Chain A
Amino acid sequence: MKLRANLRAWVLVLAVMHAVVACAGFFAPYDPGEQDREHPYAPPSAIHFRDGYGSLHIRPFVYPLQPVAGFSDRYREERAAPAPIRFFVTGQGYRLLGLLPCRLHLFAADGARVALLGTDGYGRDQFSRLLWGGQISLFAGLMATALALTFGLFVGATAGYWGGWTDEILMRIAELFLALPWLYLLFAIRAFLPLTVSPLGAFFLVTGVIGLVGWARPARLVRGVVLSARERDYVRAARGFGASHAYILRRHILPQTASVLLTQAAILAPQYVLAEVILSFLGLGVPEPAPSWGNLLATIQQYNVLTSYWWMMLPVLVLTPFFLGYLGLASALQGWADPSKMEAVGPGSRW
């Protein structure tokens, strides 16, 4: 039962993280495309509780930034006009979960821009872009996972159930896909598809390509499960009743693949999110102006950005808690399905 509690804990953690990203509009103070040309590359806003006179305030506040004369990216705080941070404010409209029009934001500063992670070259709030970008990166990763698992399930079940030549051929093809270094294959496939696509097109492209590359390992695992399930006496008995193949698969065999599919989902999802991030980082994924964790980091590749604007690298840290959550979930799932295998899972089979 400790395993169950473990499992529930990780699911909860992941659910919360995903919920925050899903409700990006609420948690983000600004629209991700909203530019502020007057304040490019502004460092993260300093949150103050103590004002210039030394007195303590309960409500945190920020100072508006004044560009320093002669520099395009240096600022000083204008101490004269503190801007209090208010919570649950009405601001710019957005669509919650893509459906409900809403205007409520968790926080905003009254009279200044509060950029928790600084701004980029166009003055866009990195924090807002991080939240909104998460929707794209996470969704792409999850959809790619679903794609790879569906395809893998189909192939693996077919190979395992029908055996014979079908099995041989399908597994040889799977072996081919597994022999290729994953990331290289991803790049290669991406290379042969049109490079400049709309953000929506790119999203589907990236998802499709990642899913296409990753079906082989789930297929092999599913095949194993189906092979052993097929040999059971209750499957024989069902055949003895004249049950059709479809019935046997649906009733007896496919339910057994559930646990291996779930575990694979937990292992693959973070890898695929990372794949999207890498692709976008290198310019092969979702292009501007649509935000994604990858293209959020892309500017780092410019030397001057790297040296002068360290906060531009902060978005990369968001990957770690998600990885932690998914790997914890995968570990718990593995322990739940097979208590003897309590070994921690790592992204070791990346390539």
Chain B
Amino acid sequence: MISGADRAMEPLLTVESLVKRYTPRGFGGGRGGVTALDGVSFSIAEGSTLAIAGASGSGKSTLALCLACLERPASGQIRLAGRELTTLTETQLRAVRPQMQLVFQDPSSSLNPRLTAFEIVTEPFAAQSRFSASERAARARALFERAGLSFQSATRTAAEFSGGQRQRLAIARALALEPRVLILDEALSGLDASVQAQVANLLLDLQEASRLTFVFITHDLAMASRMADRIAVLDRGRIAETGPMDEVLRQPAHASTRALIAATPQWKAELRQQADT
């Protein structure tokens, strides 16, 4: 992991006071409504990883969607390489989208089961109408390789892959347009433990090779500590605390952070030990 201490440069991604509300639609609506994000702010330097940890319901998925510009926030700013994103029109966004890609939690729903692996990985090219057929094939081959998949399996439909392979496919697809930022929304959480480690290593290798910036959203602190050097804890739509990973974990300032730590099975034992001494 590249240390995020290089603060001399402007951070690649900056989020300021992001607010997102959901209100029920239709006649007789207006009562109720949920504020999913209530003024979220953070920044990430290029090439580093920020883990955003929170329990379910804390607003993680909403944050992921807002960052990927798939939902429009009610207010706040998202700046990528200095460019403000929330006020862009859809056409303008189209040019920017390749720079920031989202990898979803469940590859069975993030990949269309009827399409072949080749079609899935080259879909970004089709969507942006880029490259000729032969160029797409060449790039697809390269992407398969980077993701650790055999190109022979390119003609199989997504349904025929295992969970771990599907997630690799999703990652390969996300890399197709050569993004600078990958938003990983619980991307490892749906995988078996053994596969998790493999895919985690894949991600780290990719980051090092291409100087990728990761936003690693998760509820699992153990995973977060492996992947990221900085952490922001999300609690009910607000950032409870931010800081370097080991500092925050060693001395959690907020109750929700402590709750997350307590919920991590392998650390429970450590905590009990600490409490006993």
Chains A and B directly touch (beta carbon < 8 Å): yes
The listed residue (A164, A240, A243, A252) touching B101 by CB distance below 8 A is A240
Identify which of A164, A168, A237, A247 contacts B173 (C-beta below 8 A): A237
- Note all chain A residues with C-beta closer than 8 A to B173: 237
CB distance from B271 to the nearest CB of A (A): 35
A227 at the binding interface (Cβ < 8 Å): no
Q: In the complex, are the beta carbons of A164 and B127 less than 8 A apart?
A: no
Nearest B-chain residue to A229, judged by Cβ: B112
Across the interface, do A243 and B127 meet the contact criterion of CB distance under 8 Å?
Answer: yes
Residue B70 CB within 8 A of the other chain: yes
Residue of B nearest to A236 (CB): B70
Per-position contact with B for A246-270: 1 when CB-CB < 8 Å, else 0?
0100011001000000000000000
A247 and B127 contact, Cβ closer than 8 Å, known pairs A234-B112, A242-B93: yes
Q: Say yes or no: A241 contacts B177, CB within 8 Å.
A: yes
A148-179: which residues lie under 8 A (CB-CB) from chain B?
164, 168
Contacts of A252 in B (CB 8 A): 112
Q: Is A233 an interface residue (CB 8 A)?
A: yes
The reply to whether A241 and B109 form a contact with Cβ atoms under 8 Å apart is no
Contact partner of B97 (CB less than 8 A), chosen from A164, A234, A242, is: A242
Partner of B94, one of A233, A234, A242: A242
Is A350 interfacial (CB 8 A cutoff)?
no
Contact status A233-B104, CB under 8 Å: yes
Tell me if A238 and B70 are in contact (CB < 8 A).
no
* B124 close to A241 (CB less than 8 A): yes
Task: List residues 218-234 of chain A with CB under 8 A from any CB of chain B.
Answer: 232-234
Chain B residues contacting A239 (CB-CB under 8 Å) are: 70
Q: Which residues of A contact B114 (CB under 8 A)?
A: 255
A162 to chain B, nearest CB (A): 13
Number of A-B contacts (CB under 8 A): 59
How far, in angstroms, from A236 to B185 measured CA to CA in the complex? Answer: 13
Complexed CA–CA distance, A244 and B90 (Å): 10
A247 touches B126 (CB 8 A): yes
Set of chain A residues within 8 Å of B68, measured between Cβ atoms: 240
CA distance A60 to B219 in the complex (A): 85
**B65 sits at the interface (CB 8 A):** yes
- Give the size of the chain A interface in residues (CB under 8 angstroms): 18
Interchain CA distance A221-B26 in the complex, whole Å: 20
- Contact partner of A241 (CB less than 8 A), chosen from B25, B98, B111, B112, is B98
Q: Tell me whether A234 and B127 are in contact in the complex, defined as CB-CB below 8 angstroms, given that A239-B70, A241-B97, A242-B94 are known contacts.
A: no
Q: How far is the CB of A105 from chain B (nearest CB, A)?
A: 48
Closest chain A residue to B96, Cβ basis: A242
Contact A242 B104 (CB under 8 A): no
* Bound complex: CA A255 to CA B65 (Å): 26
| Closest B residue by C-beta to A231 | B109
Contact of B205 with A by CB under 8 A: no
Q: Name which residue of chain B comes closest to A232, CB basis.
A: B109
The interface bits of chain B over 89-120 (1 if a CB of A lies within 8 angstroms of the residue's CB, else 0) are 00001110110011010100111101000000
Pair B101/A233 contact, Cβ less than 8 Å: no
Inter-chain contact B70/A234, CB cutoff 8 Å? no
Contacting residue for A237 out of B25, B95, B104, CB 8 A: B104
- Which of these, B25, B106, B123, contacts A233 with CB under 8 Å? B106
Let me know if A234 and B110 touch, CB within 8 A: yes
Q: Is the CB of B25 within 8 A of A164?
A: yes
Q: List the A side residues contacting B93 at CB < 8 Å.
A: 242
B128 at the interface (CB under 8 A from A): yes
Residue of B nearest to A256 (CB): B114
Contact B123 A238 (CB under 8 A): yes
Cβ-defined contact, B127 with A238, below 8 A: yes
Inter-chain contact B127/A242, CB cutoff 8 Å:
yes
Q: How far is the CA of A329 from the CA of B150 in the complex (A)?
A: 42
Across-interface contacts of B104 in A (CB, < 8 A): 233, 236-237
Judging by beta carbons under 8 Å apart, are B126 and A237 in contact? no
Choose one: B102, B111, B128; the contact of A242 (CB below 8 Å): B128
Given contacts A241-B98, A241-B177, A242-B94, contact A233 B109 (CB under 8 A): yes
* Assembled-state Cα–Cα distance A247/B111 (Å): 16
Closest 7 CB pairs of A and B: A243-B127, A233-B110, A242-B94, A241-B127, A241-B124, A242-B97, A233-B109
What are 30 residue pairs bridging A and B, where the CB atoms are less than 8 Å apart in the complex?
Answer: A164-B25, A168-B26, A232-B109, A233-B106, A234-B109, A234-B110, A234-B111, A234-B112, A236-B70, A236-B110, A237-B102, A237-B104, A237-B110, A237-B173, A240-B68, A240-B69, A240-B97, A240-B101, A241-B101, A241-B128, A241-B177, A242-B93, A242-B98, A242-B127, A243-B127, A243-B128, A244-B127, A247-B127, A251-B112, A251-B123
- In the complex, besides A241-B128, A242-B128, 17 extra interface pairs with C-beta distance below 8 angstroms are A164-B25, A232-B109, A233-B104, A233-B106, A233-B109, A234-B109, A234-B110, A234-B112, A236-B104, A236-B110, A241-B101, A241-B177, A242-B93, A242-B97, A242-B127, A243-B128, A251-B123
